Chains A and B, each alone.
Chain A
Amino acid sequence: MSNDDTDASLSARNINFSFGCKAVLEDVQIAVPNGQFVALLGQNGAGKTTLFSIITGLYAAHGGEIRIGGHDLRMNTEAALASIGVVFQRATLDRDLTVKQNLRYFCHLHGIATSELQKRIDAALASYGLSDLQQRKVTELSGGQQRRIELARATLHDPNFLLLDEPTVGLDHANRMEFVSNVKTLCKERNVGVLWATHLMDEVEDADYVYFLHHGKILFEGGSADLLKEHGKKSIAELYSHLTGQPADATVI
């Protein structure tokens, strides 16, 4: 996918990163246009989480350029980070607090005006059918509810780019599919670009675009329908297996 569109949700070019002598990412290029659902597939250890840490500014890349919502991450870090909504692989809700307290905390971190804060929380929770959970402690919620609250939280500041790092790990099939459906709706209705990292194939069967990250490099990329047609495969799992030579079943690499 072209990286030239500076208004894209995300444009990452020539990203390199290493831990000591060990290269973790080599010349990675990724673009996520507005309103598209882009999948980043790779086995554990492929470099997905490191790439996400770089995109969110937790690590600094050793080379390359990242633009988020048109803002250069290195030169204009705050504006770039303001454009991102993130759902991390690990739960980041504070277990000592209620749902409402967690969401208010997030709103404060993003400078959302006090007058508007509650309205946004109500709207975000309502859109995922979670309104009745506001006063509940995080520890009282199921895993699926917690992840959906994290998704609702990630949208409170109206980001134009969503980054999801294996957000469904630990959820059962029904909850995973519900979560995927929520994200796709968000993507289309709000024109938000989504980068979804996963090793669970069935979640990204109809992604707009797919990147295969293998040992820190983008091995293949393309529109999922085009790639399937080109290689004569019926599913992303089959395609992954075909392209990487790694076994993959229907849901898990």
Chain B
Amino acid sequence: MNLKHARSCFKGILIRESLRFLNQRARFFAALVRPLVWLFIFAAGFRSVLGVSIIPPYQTYVLYEEYITPGLLGMIMLFNGMQSSLSMVYDREMGSMRLLLVSPLPRWFLLLCKLLSGVAVALLQVYVFLLIAWFWEVRPPVSGYFMVIPALILSGLMLGALGLMLSSFVTQLENFAGVMNFVIFPMFFASSALYPLWRVRDSSELLYWVANLNPFTHAVEFVRFALYSEINWQAGLITLLCTLFFSAVAIWGYDPLRGFLPRKGGPAT
């Protein structure tokens, strides 16, 4: 693979994804409104009910809004990862995915470019959200705004790779929309995004373990610590391993030997 060509390809995919995102303004606002509703309404409503004691990385008691902000960043990455994969199923049905996959570059690289472009678009949404949250008095340390970038990229890659993996096995748009509901909501609610795990354990030991096995929990914790200028090595390592696993399965799923469009009875012949 020629480095210049690889760079040109990544640039092309990144520009395309950005243009599509900008052209679909409704998508941008929907992506932003979702976490803001949680921040403005849900968090405000539950502020007095859900007290959060001092747990790392927090040095003092924090408001519930502050606690759920990293979870909402995770939510943006999660929805974006899945939306990006949904667009791949759409692209595949519409044919533009074929155009990408017959490009003269290794398939793993093309899929990686697609993932990274999706993450770049999500990062933009995250920072707009953080800006609004700042006015809502969610103000992590300034260094946190920079330290969180690698954590967001890795988490975004993991969630994008998960979506990619699912998209390689699901062949119809309608089915994939269903799968998203079975993935997004359980992943989000059975995690530490909305409540600390010690609180979950108080009410359900089983849910506590489910949340512990949920990769999204570790992505959120990785982001949470980074946002407060700390590194949660364990969460980071688990997120990395999950990223590698999901990516490997996704690349296998898009392997021509399997047929990149497996479907019952085969394709149009």
Contacts and interface: CB of A to CB of B under 8 A. Distances in A.
A133 B4 CA distance: 30
A119 interface: no
Interface of B: 1-2, 4-5, 8-9, 11-13, 15-16, 19-20, 23-24, 94-96, 98-106, 255-257, 259-261, 265-269
A251 interface: no
Contacts of A113: 8
B8 A49 contact: no
A109 B257 CA distance: 23
A60 interface: yes
A84 B102 contact: yes
Contacts of A107: 12
Q: Please list the 3 inter-chain residue pairs (A to B) with the smallest Cβ-Cβ separation, ordered nearest first.
A: A108-B12, A111-B5, A19-B266
Given A24-B266, A59-B259, A111-B2, A78 B96 contact: no
A112 B8 contact: yes
Nearest to B16: A105
Contacts of B101: 57-58
Given A96-B19, A96-B20, 13 more contacts: A24-B269, A45-B269, A46-B269, A49-B267, A53-B267, A58-B102, A60-B256, A78-B104, A88-B95, A88-B98, A104-B12, A105-B13, A110-B104
Contacts of A110: 5, 103-104
Contact of B96 (A56, A58, A79, A92): A92
Contacts of A57: 101-102, 256
Contacts of A94: 16, 20, 96
Contacts of B259: 19, 53, 58-59
A81 interface: yes
Question: Which of the four size classes fits the interface of chain A?
Answer: 35 or more
B103 to A, nearest CB: 4
Interface of A: 19, 22, 24, 44-50, 53, 56-60, 77-82, 84, 86, 88-94, 96-97, 101, 104-114, 216
A114 B105 CA distance: 18
B110 to A, nearest CB: 8
Contacts of B94: 90-92
B257 to A, nearest CB: 5
Nearest to B103: A109
Given A97-B23, A104-B12, A111-B2, A91 B269 contact: no
Contact of A108 (B9, B102, B106, B261): B9
Contacts of B266: 19, 22, 24, 50
A143 to B, nearest CB: 14
A26 B154 CA distance: 45
Contacts of A89: 95, 268
A111 B9 contact: yes
A78 B1 CA distance: 8
A216 B1 CA distance: 35
A112 B9 CA distance: 9
Contacts of A112: 8
Contact of A48 (B19, B255, B260, B269): B269
